[in-house]
Amino acid sequence: MGRKLDPLKKVPRGPGRKSRKQPGAEKELSKILSDGDAEVKRLSSRSRKRAAKRRQAEEQKVKSSKPEAKHNGNAQAVQKGKKKLSGFSDENAEWLKPVKRARKDKDDDEDEEEDEDFSDEEVDSGDEKPVKLVGDDDDESGNDEPAEELELSDSDDDLQDDFGASSEEEEDGGDLLPIEKAAEKQKKKSKRDKETEDEEDIKLNVDGDEHFTLPTAEEMEQQLSTHLDLTSIQERIKDIVAVLQDFAKRGGQHTRQEYITVLRQDLATYYSYGDYMIEMLSDLFPVSELVDFLESCEVQRPVTIRTNTLKTRRRDLAQALINRGVNLDPLGKWSKTGLVIYDSSVPIGATPEYLAGHYMLQGASSLLPVIALAPQENERVMDMCCAPGGKTSYMAQLMKNTGVVVANDMNAERLRSVVGNLHRLGVTNCIICNYDGRKLSEVLGGFDRVLLDAPCSGTGIISKDPSVKTNKNAQDIQRCAHIQKELILSAIDSLDAQSTSGGFLVYCTCSITVEENECVVDYALKKRNVKLVPTGLDFGKEGFVKFKERRFHQSLRLTRRFYPHTHNMDGFFIAKLRKFSNTIPSSKEVLQQCSRHVCCQ
């Protein structure tokens, strides 16, 4: 079945692709083509055209030397040659009948024109005879002179090549045996069929995904009662999110609320949340953003540290930690002291630099309230809920140990960590006290700036405390909101509106619920003579001015929200207020102000 190695036992149709590039190949091939003892096989239509073209070139030379008297005999021979070529009307007419072939696809037509096929009868018999193109010996006129060559092509450019070889045919494997050509052709056809099947499969998959059918309640209960398949639940979450983003893909007549209900159940099952938390988060975020938030809460936030500029510089600290095998980078352009730790070969909380007070382990979101407060030197500043002392030491650092910083916390046990951190960091301008923040204004007052990091539900730090997923309900949120409203009023009363450099309050929580953030700030705007001012932070999302049925003051756009899936830090809320009058509005004034408020109309 292999290829014949002896070139003398076949008639080459022309030089190959490489042979045409080599000089002298034409002479060698002409010797082979002139061998009369070589085995002759049936020529294809293109081969016959090329052979006629070569004969034409030779006969034109002979014609120029013959007298014009023989022109009529040659013309008759030409007419006879045309008849024989078209109808195979010579003595070989019995076996030179054209092979009947079945109709084939359009894709195979080009390949079939280049192939040379033999009938089974010809291969078995082995009696192959050359095809005569002109009647040299069989002229009825008896003319022994060679006839004029047939002009089988109107264009010489189509048939012009080296010794009748077609470059396109040779590049595709012109010297292959018929059975090898058939194999190549079958291989190409199989490849085209496979590509067509793949395209049809992709089309079917796309068509199948266009419409998603919502599972019934019985199917949902059966799935929950049996072994949970988290992979199928995850796929269904993706399908429902895609349907809610493009509601034309829905299957059946289900409403949007039915899709949302199933999505909430799947999210609660997949991420292990309580029903109240999922409902609250789904009201807070769009569908696609909700999934991103839940995914980000499953990943721990990067470890960040704050450089204590009272004892060192950030550049020197970074170099010292790098020498100890710590991989770190600056936290961001918005912080001049923060560093983010990727990995470390030594414990970050037990290095000599840490024990010497050169840095403090502190989250990136905890730096933002102090930056927004921007305490100045020689001011009186209070941190109403100070434990464990990260923000308090940062304020003392910015004040360069000048002025007075009052650190208060209601829990005496937590104040021990505050004392230890302040001593380690070298803070000397701080006073620590233990009071209930709701009554602190009755004891201390006249502060230039106050920082209130209010206790909250912790819905923004789920990655640190996963128990928030299930142990929080509406009563817990309302209880926290009530305490926060009392604390913010006490903090405002502790401020001095006549301060030349201050009178500012920064209210912040590590929660993302509206009840603990916008509702509390809006309540303070109604109860006290304060107004919201820009926080000075150039990133973060704006606060809500409307949420479900609630309507808030338009200035709440100045507040800032931070989310783990967008800012890669803990969920946080920051609002900055300025007190413009020390007088407390009476109940009548509050009612008049409330009547002018948008939410009460």
Helix (H), strand (E), coil (C) string for 187-215: HHHHHHHHHHHHHHHHHHHHHHHCCEECC
Sign of CA dihedral 305, 310, 312, 313: positive
Give which of 371, 425, 418, 385 is closest to 401, Cα–Cα.
425
Confidence of residue 129 (pLDDT cuts 50, 70, 90): very low
| Percent of the chain's residues with pLDDT above 90 | 40
Determine the average pLDDT of the residues in 508-536. Answer: 93
Residues in CB range of 429: below 8 A, 6 or more apart = 396, 399, 401, 402, 403, 404, 405
Weakest mean pLDDT among 209-213, 347-351, 437-441: 209-213
Determine the average pLDDT of the residues in 90-115. Answer: 50
Kindly report the average pLDDT of the chain as a whole number: 76
Determine the average pLDDT of the residues in 135-163. Answer: 42
| Structure confidence at residue 245 (pLDDT) | 78
Q: Which of the following is catalytic: 456, 480, 508, 510?
A: 510
Q: Does the structure show a pLDDT above 50 at 179?
A: yes
Determine the average pLDDT of the residues in 45-64. Answer: 83
What does R_g of the chain's alpha carbons equal in angstroms? 46
Please write the tens of the pLDDT for every residue from 64-76.
Answer: 765 554 445 554 5
CA distance 570 to 583: 37
Tell me which amino acid residue 156 is: D
Determine the average pLDDT of the residues in 132-160. Answer: 42
CA distance 226 to 266: 15
Determine the average pLDDT of the residues in 145-160. Answer: 42
Largest CA distance in the chain: 140
Relative to beta strand 303-307, strand 338-344 is: antiparallel
Q: Is 450 helix (H, G, I), strand (E, B) or coil?
A: strand
CA distance 199 to 226: 38
Question: In this structure, which long-range contacts are made by residues 69-73, counting pairs with CB atoms below 8 Å and at least 24 apart in sequence?
Answer: 70/143, 70/145, 73/139, 73/141, 73/143, 73/145
CA distance 323 to 97: 91
**Adjacent-strand bridge partners of 267:** none
- Which range has highest mean pLDDT (107-116, 161-170, 305-314)? 305-314
pTM: 0.63
Q: Does the structure show a pLDDT above 80 at 132?
A: no
Confidence of residue 373 (pLDDT cuts 50, 70, 90): very high
| Structure confidence at residue 107 (pLDDT) | 47
Q: Does the structure show a pLDDT above 70 at 482?
A: yes
The two tokens of residue 589 are 């004034």
Burial 443-474 (b: 16+ CB within 10 A, else e): ebeebbbbbbbbbbbbbbbbbeeeebbeebee
Q: Does the structure show a pLDDT above 70 at 587?
A: no
CA distance 438 to 82: 116
**DSSP letter for each residue of 294-363:** HHHTTSPPPEEEEE-TTT--HHHHHHHHHHTTEEEEE--TT-SSEEEEEEESS-GGGSHHHHTTSEEE--
Give which of 452, 530, 447, 432 is closest to 494, Cα–Cα.
447
**Adjacent-strand bridge partners of 576:** 506, 533
C-alpha neighbours within 13 Å on the C-beta side of residue 16: 8
Question: Does residue 173 come out as left (phi exceeding 0), alpha (psi in the -120 to 50 range) or beta?
Answer: left
CA distance 590 to 527: 6
How many other CB atoms are found less than 10 A from the CB of residue 324?
13
How many other CB atoms are found less than 10 A from the CB of residue 89?
13
| Structure confidence at residue 445 (pLDDT) | 86
Which helix (H) or strand (E) is 31 found in, with range?
A: helix 25-33
Relative to beta strand 326-330, strand 338-344 is: antiparallel
Q: Is 23 helix (H, G, I), strand (E, B) or coil?
A: coil
Range list of β-strands (E), 166-276 = 212-213, 250-251
Confidence of residue 190 (pLDDT cuts 50, 70, 90): confident
Burial 342-364 (b: 16+ CB within 10 A, else e): eeeeeebeebebbeebbbbebbb
The two tokens of residue 586 are 């009476």
Confidence of residue 252 (pLDDT cuts 50, 70, 90): low
Q: Does the structure show a pLDDT above 80 at 271?
A: yes
CA distance 484 to 507: 10
Q: What's the burial of 153, exposed, middle or buried (CB within 10 Å: 0-12/13-18/19+)?
A: middle
Q: Are 228 and 269 in contact (CB under 8 A)?
A: yes
| Structure confidence at residue 428 (pLDDT) | 94
The two tokens of residue 467 are 């128990």
How many other CB atoms are found less than 10 A from the CB of residue 271?
19
Q: Which residue has the higher pLDDT, 27 or 486?
A: 486
Q: Which residue has the higher pLDDT, 34 or 440?
A: 440
Determine the average pLDDT of the residues in 322-334. Answer: 91
Q: Are 41 and 11 in contact (CB under 8 A)?
A: yes
Q: Which residue has the higher pLDDT, 301 or 99?
A: 301
| Structure confidence at residue 119 (pLDDT) | 39
The two tokens of residue 570 are 């803990």
How many other CB atoms are found less than 10 A from the CB of residue 14?
23
| Percent of the chain's residues with pLDDT above 70 | 65
C-alpha neighbours within 13 Å on the C-beta side of residue 291: 17
CA distance 296 to 462: 9
**Adjacent-strand bridge partners of 38:** none
Confidence of residue 287 (pLDDT cuts 50, 70, 90): confident
Q: What is the DSSP letter of 553?
A: -
CA distance 481 to 276: 17
CA distance 95 to 397: 107
Helix, strand, coil share of the chain (percent; to 5): 50, 10, 40
The two tokens of residue 540 are 């973060």
CA distance 340 to 318: 10
Q: Are 515 and 599 in contact (CB under 8 A)?
A: no
**DSSP letter for each residue of 75-132:** HHHHHHHHHHHHH--STTTTT-PPPP-----GGGHHHHHH-----HHHHHH----PPP
Look up tokens 């009052």; give the residue. 406
CA distance 388 to 409: 9
How many other CB atoms are found less than 10 A from the CB of residue 58?
11
Determine the average pLDDT of the residues in 396-414. Answer: 93
| Structure confidence at residue 194 (pLDDT) | 76
| 510 tagged catalytic | yes
